A and B are shown apart, each in its own frame.
Chain A
Amino acid sequence: MTQDVEMKELTVVPSISVSSKDVSSTFQILKEIVSLLETGAYAREVRRIGQAVRRTIQLRRKLKAFVLSSFLNYALTQGSEAHTRLSSYLPKEDEHDMEVDTATSATPLVKQSLPELEIYCYLLVLIFLIDQKKFSEAKSCSSASIVRLRNINKRTVDVLASRLYFYYSLSYELTGDLAEIRGNLLALHRIATLRHDELGQETLLNLLLRNYLQYNLYDQAEKLRSKAPRFEAHLNQQFCRYLFYLGKIRTIQLEYTDAKESLLQAARKAPIAALGFRVQCNKWAVIVRLLLGEIPERTVFMQKGMKKALRPYFELTNAVRVGDLELFRSVADKFASTFNSDRTHNLIVRLRHNVIRTGLRNISISYSRISLTDVAHKLRLNSENPVADAESIVAKAIRDGAIDATLDHANGWMVSKETGDVYSTNEPQLAFNSRIAFCLNMHNEAVRALRFPPNSHKKEKESAEKRRERQQQEQELAKHIAEEDDDDF
């Protein structure tokens, strides 16, 4: 509770004027984070480290070079390797800042340096460098931290390490050198697997998938994904990312049903704040649903904050719904740059087939008998031999069960069959089944997602205080016995 109040007070202070009060309160929070880290490290409580990371992210905007350098003086031993290296990344502070600096860092923390603290300093400096857009420094800083991390095998460091991996990859992505670190990431993933560091594995797997997909290496991504060890997701964010990448891979490999499931789940699970991510998920989900022959509801495109971004996809959906090839072509041309930057262009090309199918279905519903010339004309097939094209397209649609009709070659027309009563088929049963399956699945997922406070089952056994008391008694007793033994001789 107290933390929240503090944070609110801080946000009131305008960040432009660097008052010394602001600086000192930032510094104060950093100190609190350090104490959190320390208790976490000593008590081996991963939860506290996670808390520390979360508070750091909240602090992100307020970080200034001089605050950081005084914090480094405070947290790390002067002249140690980490201290010299990290200080070199920070810009030199001017006179004014020095005053504040001396005021805040009067009492350096004199302790043997905890690995958690050192890694935390790396993380802090790295976040600062990325925010300041000093990407080349960020790259060398993150690489140095990764080298340092390899030699630390501690569960409490894992939380910090997974964040570091993330920023490591981000700093390389921002400069467009993602391919360079692929080998390193793979090695890190292997190390994390050997150390049973599930958080690290989860983060690194996502980073690797992202790395592959950046270069459209879907084959490699799928091979890695299918062979990497799977376990229950630890962090919701990572799980969302994983689902999104999975959805993308499945879409490319034409497994639309699975792709749709993953993409929709990713969009639903993503936090409200992650607007960009949700927009991406929705874009892909719309295309996949179109490829499946479904028409997404209008509400999908009207979601808050997404209206503009989803506009091209809305028009595309409209074209597919109408089944008009000409309209489809013009939409695809009009938004070609958007589709290219979203890298959905190839998927849009695949949609052509669906547009034809919808158009054909509309024709077969409206007419009981229509000549193939008219079909070709209505579908606007622009080819040398439209009638022959139309005939074989219709034939394939009939075979795939998209329309229920027969062709008469001699007369050159298509005869639609009477649409039967849908309730005489298995269709309602199937729809009913899929809905029940969805509900049951939802229930099971909800049960699985329930969280229980850690170690609550041990509460009844003994509290820490009692244990210490008992141990003391036992020790005294042991001493007593030993003395008695001495007396005997």
Chain B
Amino acid sequence: MDPKLTEVSQLFERLKASLMRNDLDNCSNLLSQLKVMLTGFRSLPPLFEDSPNAVQELTIARNIYEHAVVLSVKAEDQDAFERDFFQLKPYYTDIGARLPPSSQEYPILGLNLLRLLVQNRIAEFHTELELLSTNALENPCIKHAVELEQSFMEGAYNRVLSARQTVPHETYAYFMDLLVKTVRDEIAGCGEKAYDYLSIIDAKQMLMISSDQELCTFITEERPDWEIKNGLVFFQKAKESAPCKEIPSLQLINQTLSYARELERIV
């Protein structure tokens, strides 16, 4: 075996061990060393040279980046996740046929979909989705993310929340927690438009808040125009403050001027 390859795999074993121990500082330290060493392999993207050890090198590199992605989730670093994922992606798309399939592929792809959903990058979510085959769409990890997006678009928020209990992979929990916050904001936004008032108990249940105290802090921090009176939460204030209809004079002037300009060009 190539000495460089041996060194990398030894270091990689150490990385795996410290990831098991949840020693994140040590992990990121080892990972940056590994990434530097990977640049020495000429068979990796973007060069794709056909060296005798290509398959082994590619496999170990893919493994390392998969662990890097998991590590970034554990470290709760979304930027690092994005970087690592994009480094990993060519191993699935461009040279997927040359390597034996990885068991981590679908969980990680699903995780990425979830991240895009949490960051509300729906366009990119759908672009990624197009790259997946029908087989991949059947995979529980991917399906989970796809169904979440659907429920999210429809507004069936309670389905989003119940999906939290059925995460297909332990790494998903971090993003699901983030999603809950987004969902709460959405529900609050919809609620103040749809209801005139809600009882405090219903409001707590709807917003997934456990105590009255928390509800009060939520209202004062996020929705200061709500009002609590006689055990009811009134949204009326928020509605009244919505801008009343007025004549969009500036817009009309602009339009009329543009008509005049265009007509001048014709005549």
Name A's B-contacting residues (CB within 8 A): 216-219, 252-255, 340, 345-346, 349-350, 352-353, 356, 383-385, 388-389, 392-399, 405-410, 425-426, 429, 433, 436, 440, 443-444
1/0 per residue, CB under 8 A from A, across B136-162: the answer is 000000000010001001111111001
B236–chain A nearest beta-carbon distance, Å: 11
Give the residues in chain A near B129, CB-CB below 8 Å: 346
Q: In the complex the two chains form, is A216's CB within 8 Å of B130's CB?
A: yes
Q: CA A148 – CA B266 in complex, angstroms?
A: 49
**Cβ contact within 8 Å between A389 and B159:** yes
The 8 closest A-B pairs by CB, nearest first: A396-B155, A395-B190, A395-B194, A253-B123, A216-B130, A398-B194, A399-B193, A399-B190
Chain A residues lying within 8 Å of B155, measured Cβ to Cβ, are: 392-397
Distance A252 CA – B187 CA, assembled complex (angstroms): 27
In the bound complex, how far is the Cα of B158 from the Cα of A309, in angstroms?
40
A350 contacts across to B, CB distance below 8 A: 126, 153
Q: Is the CB–CB distance between B127 and A394 below 8 Å?
A: no
> Which of B153, B162, B191, B202 contacts A395 (CB under 8 A)?
B191
Q: How many angstroms from the CA of A298 to the CA of B157 in the assembled complex?
A: 36
Is the pair B127, A218 in contact by a Cβ cutoff of 8 Å?
yes
Q: How many angstroms from the CA of A353 to the CA of B122 in the assembled complex? A: 15
Interface of B is mostly: helix
Residues of A within 8 A of B196 (CB): 406, 408
The reply to whether A254 and B123 form a contact with Cβ atoms under 8 Å apart is yes
Q: Is B259 in contact with chain A by the CB < 8 A criterion?
A: yes
Given contacts A216-B131, A443-B266, contact A406 B194 (CB under 8 A): yes
Query: Which residues of the partner chain A approach B127 to less than 8 Å between Cβ atoms?
Result: 218-219, 252-253
Contact yes or no, A398 B130, CB < 8 A: no
CA distance A392 to B157 in the complex (A): 7
Partner of B150, one of A252, A345, A352: A352
| Interface set of B (CB-CB < 8 Å, partner A) | 122-124, 126-127, 129-131, 134, 146, 150, 153-159, 162, 186-187, 189-191, 193-196, 198-199, 202, 245, 248, 252, 255, 259, 262, 265-266
Tell me if B259 and A352 are in contact (CB < 8 A). no
**Is A349 within 8 A of B150, CB to CB?**
yes
Q: Which residues of B contact A255 (CB under 8 A)?
A: 123
* Docked pose: A255 CA to B191 CA in angstroms: 27
| Interface hub of A218, A408, A409, A410 (most chain B Cβ within 10 A) | A409
Chain A nearest CB: distance from B245 CB in Å?
7
A353 to B153, Cβ gap below 8 A?
yes
Whether A254 and B122, one on each chain, are in contact in the complex, defined by CB atoms closer than 8 angstroms, is yes
Min CB–CB distance B27 → chain A (angstroms): 30
Which residues of chain B come closer than 8 Å to A356, judged between CB atoms? 154
**Which chain A residue shows the least CB distance to B183?**
A392
Residues of A within 8 A of B130 (CB): 216, 218, 252, 346
30 contacts between A and B (CB under 8 A): A216-B131, A217-B131, A218-B130, A219-B127, A252-B130, A253-B123, A253-B126, A253-B127, A254-B123, A254-B126, A255-B123, A350-B126, A350-B153, A392-B156, A392-B158, A392-B190, A393-B156, A394-B194, A395-B155, A395-B193, A396-B186, A397-B155, A398-B193, A406-B196, A409-B195, A409-B202, A410-B202, A440-B259, A440-B262, A443-B266
- Chain B residues within 8 Å of A410, by CB: 199, 202
Q: A216-B131, A218-B130, A436-B259 are in contact. List 6 more A-B contacts (CB 8 A).
A: A252-B126, A253-B127, A389-B159, A392-B157, A394-B194, A444-B265
* Residues of chain A lying within 8 A (CB to CB) of residue B131: 216-217
* Bound CA span A405–B252, Å: 30
Min Cβ gap A1→B in Å is: 37
Partner of A385, one of B158, B187, B245: B158
Given A217-B131, A385-B158, A399-B193, does the pair A429, B252 have CB atoms closer than 8 Å? yes
Given contacts A254-B126, A395-B155, contact A353 B150 (CB under 8 A): yes
> How far does the alpha carbon of A353 sit from the alpha carbon of B190 in the complex, in Å?
17
Interface pair B154/A353, CB less than 8 Å apart:
yes
A151–B134 CA distance with the chains assembled, in angstroms: 44
- Chain B residues with CB below 8 A from A218, complex form: 127, 130
Distance of B255 from chain A, by nearest CB (Å): 6
Inter-chain CA distance A383–B153, complex, in Å, is: 16
- Chain A residues positioned under 8 Å from B134 (CB to CB): 340, 345
Contact partners of A216 in chain B: CB under 8 A: 130-131
What separation, in Å, do the CA atoms of A440 and B264 have in the docked complex? 11
Q: Which residues of A contact B198 (CB under 8 A)?
A: 409
B191 near A383: Cβ-Cβ < 8 Å = no
Is the CB–CB distance between B154 and A399 below 8 Å?
Answer: no
Residues in chain A near residue B266, CB distance under 8 A: 443
Q: Which residues of B have CB within 8 Å of A346?
A: 126, 129-130
**What residues of chain A lie closer than 8 Å to B199, measured between beta carbons?**
409-410
* A residues near B194, Cβ cutoff 8 Å: 394-395, 398-399, 405-407
Contacts of A407 in B (CB 8 A): 194-195
What are the residues of chain B within 8 A of A345 when measuring CB–CB?
Answer: 134
In the complex, what distance in Å separates the CA atom of A436 from the CA atom of B252? 13
How far, in whole Å, are A43 and B127 apart by their CA atoms in the complex? 49
* Bound: A418/B262 CA distance, A: 40
Chain B residue with the shortest CB-CB distance to A215? B131
Q: Is the CB of B248 within 8 A of A388?
A: no
In the complex, chain B residues whose CB is within 8 Å of the CB of A397: 155
Please measure, in the bound complex, the distance between the C-alpha atom of A399 and the C-alpha atom of B262, giving whole angstroms: 37
Contacts of A349 in B (CB 8 A): 146, 150
Contact B245 A425 (CB under 8 A): yes
